[in-house]
Amino acid sequence: MTTTSPQGRTELLRPDGSPVRVLVVDDEQSITELLSMALRYEGWQIRSAGDGQGAVQSAREFRPDAVVLDMMLPDMDGLAVLGRLRRDLPDVPVLFLTAKDAVEDRIAGLTAGGDDYVTKPFSLEEVVARLRGLIRRAGAADRRSESVLVVGDLTLDEDSHEVSRGGDDIHLTATEFELLRFLMRNPRRVLSKAQILDRVWSYDFGGQANVVELYISYLRRKIDAGREPMIHTRRGAGYLIKPAAS
Amino acid sequence: MTTTSPQGRTELLRPDGSPVRVLVVDDEQSITELLSMALRYEGWQIRSAGDGQGAVQSAREFRPDAVVLDMMLPDMDGLAVLGRLRRDLPDVPVLFLTAKDAVEDRIAGLTAGGDDYVTKPFSLEEVVARLRGLIRRAGAADRRSESVLVVGDLTLDEDSHEVSRGGDDIHLTATEFELLRFLMRNPRRVLSKAQILDRVWSYDFGGQANVVELYISYLRRKIDAGREPMIHTRRGAGYLIKPAAS
DNA sequence: TTGGAGTCTGTGATTTCCCTGAGAAACGCA
DNA sequence: TGCGTTTCTCAGGGAAATCACAGACTCCAA
């Protein structure tokens, strides 16, 4: 099921209308806090654990609809945690967090069952998007929930990564795509450059804040070029996207 | 019966509309877990057993539509298990798992009755495809439902392994065929290299991720050569297949 | 009208990612 | 056993994407 909040954001809900529950497992507290905040912002109910023991325990009580699981935990191997989780909750989808430089064969098999993974350092938008995908496909949320975002005559398909405006296909790079997705998931709402940087770029990004300006300018060239603009600047505040007509 | 899920994937169902039931029997827990995950993702109901005793027991209660049976079990010979299974469920199709170097003729005799086998280490796509075939032919699923995948003017016959585009027959190697099947079972959907590796290559493959790139390049030569391309790269995300027209 | 803060965008360096040729090793079949 | 086929590794080339930098531009207030 989906509902639309007063701010115009679309939320995933469980079939009975209650909020989606997600368990976050990582031993670095800064990571669990970062994730908890971002996922609560999605309207989800979050519980977190710092080790394998706690994860298994929490899963049993909390019965989450999805789990975010770091593969490097102090007390147990990630796969062992997975096995224990699956004993209690056979169908729960899992989003694995792995280190970028981890040996590739440790990653093997993680997507086999419909699970998914992201590498550290990740961007919050990426984690949220993949979690939404997992929850959608696992059927914890109503099956009807679409993978297509629409604002005015602009559409973005999260499965095929296709974007089009007024019927014309638009090719976007990975970063442009993530930025546009963030804007379109928050239509008619001003997003500050800091917010955008926090959500779309990975958490260890150390560069200049004006990459946001740069990528907004790229997007405008591709999306607004020669048309009624949809991306607007609120000087001193940030950017927002809205249908061209209004 | 088949239904098409919102993601566009086609699911097998039983004549009464309930999910297909599969019993998985293997003494290695990592194998039963891997298979359970992958088969659940097909929308099937899974039960697993770790030895012959448990298998017979589970089959009696669970009444599966198909069984995946490792030939090397700790307590009983594979043939003995098969005999006992057949006493309770005379018509249930069985997919045997055998070691690579197993005596081939013993297996060959078994498959005469409409059963099938795969050798370890297997790829998940192969197991799923063969199970689908068994279930389809056994009539547990409603129809002689399609064994032909179609995307645009490209067709792939899962029974005969014939592939053609626009009427021209195309010869593919085994790996190319599996890769194309996976793509065509998920049309218009970006599949990451990790996902492809996990499904199409066998679970113990420890090689470089760029075999995927390599085989995509082989497929392009055979399928897209001199035509409107159907296989597309989404840089930094993966690959997808879609009809040439759109 | 002017100055400054904030924003936009052209240029190019760097990095990342993807493609493909060549050849080694493994396989399958006669 | 020997030969053709298939699978896979390795490495080079090239294209695309990312980002820093800097100068141009815009808006607003004094």
Distance CA B65, CA B141 (A): 9
Distance A235 CA to D25 C1' (A): 14
CA dihedral of B193, B199, B200, B205, whole degrees rounded to 10: 80
Beta-carbon contacts of residue A11 (< 8 Å; ≥ 6 apart):
A2, A3, A4, A5, A19, A42, A43
Distance B210 CA to D12 C1' (A): 15
The SS3 assignment for B154 reads strand
Count Cβ neighbours within 10 Å for each residue of A130-156 and write b for 16 or more, e otherwise.
bbbbbbbbbebbeeebebebebbbbbb
Q: Nearest nucleotide, C1' to the C-alpha of B216?
A: C19
pLDDT tens, per residue, chain A with 246 residues = 555 554 445 667 777 878 999 999 999 999 999 999 999 999 999 999 999 999 999 999 999 999 999 999 999 988 899 989 999 998 899 999 998 765 554 566 889 888 999 999 999 999 999 999 999 888 755 444 678 999 999 999 999 999 999 999 999 999 999 999 999 999 999 999 999 999 999 999 999 999 999 999 999 999 999 999 999 999 999 999 999 975
Cα of first residue to Cα of last residue in chain B, in angstroms, is 30
Token pair, residue A233, equals 């600047």
> How many other C-beta atoms are found inside a 10 Å radius of the C-beta of residue A180?
26
pLDDT in tens, B209-220: 899 999 999 999
Enter the DSSP assignment of B222: I
DSSP A163-182: EEETTEEE---HHHHHHHHH
Place of tokens 């298998």: B55
Cβ contact, residue pair B34, A109, below 8 Å: yes
Cβ contact, residue pair A159, B190, below 8 Å: yes
The residues with which B24 forms a beta bridge, in sequence order, are: B48, B68
The residues with which B46 forms a beta bridge, in sequence order, are: B22
The structure's pTM equals 0.93
Mean pLDDT to the nearest integer, B105-134: 86
Cβ contact, residue pair B209, A104, below 8 Å: yes
* B108 — pLDDT class (breaks 50, 70, 90): low
List, edge to edge, every strand of the sheet that includes A162-165: A148-151, A154-157, A162-165, A168-170
Enter the DSSP assignment of A227: S
Distance CA A80, CA A137 (A): 24
Chain center to CA of A15: 21
Beta-carbon contacts of residue A172 (< 8 Å; ≥ 6 apart):
A163, A180, A219, A222
pLDDT in tens, B138-181: 875 655 567 899 999 999 999 999 999 999 999 999 999 999 99
Cβ contact, residue pair B197, A108, below 8 Å: yes
Which of B37, B48, B191, B242 to probe by mutation at the A interface, max A CB count within 10 Å?
B37
Distance CA A64, CA B163 (A): 43
Place of tokens 């049309």: B187
Which residues put CB within 7 Å of chain D, the nucleic strand?
A: A 171, 173-176, 201, 205-208, 210-211, 214, 235; B 171, 173-176, 201, 205-208, 210-211, 214, 235-236
B246 pLDDT above the threshold of 80? no
pLDDT in tens, B3-22: 444 344 556 777 777 889 99
Q: Nearest nucleotide, C1' to the C-alpha of B232?
A: C18
User: Which residue in A108, A143, A162 is closest to B6 by CB distance?
Assistant: A143
For strand C, the positions having any atom within 7 A of a protein Cβ are: 6-10, 17-22
B102 pLDDT above the threshold of 90? no
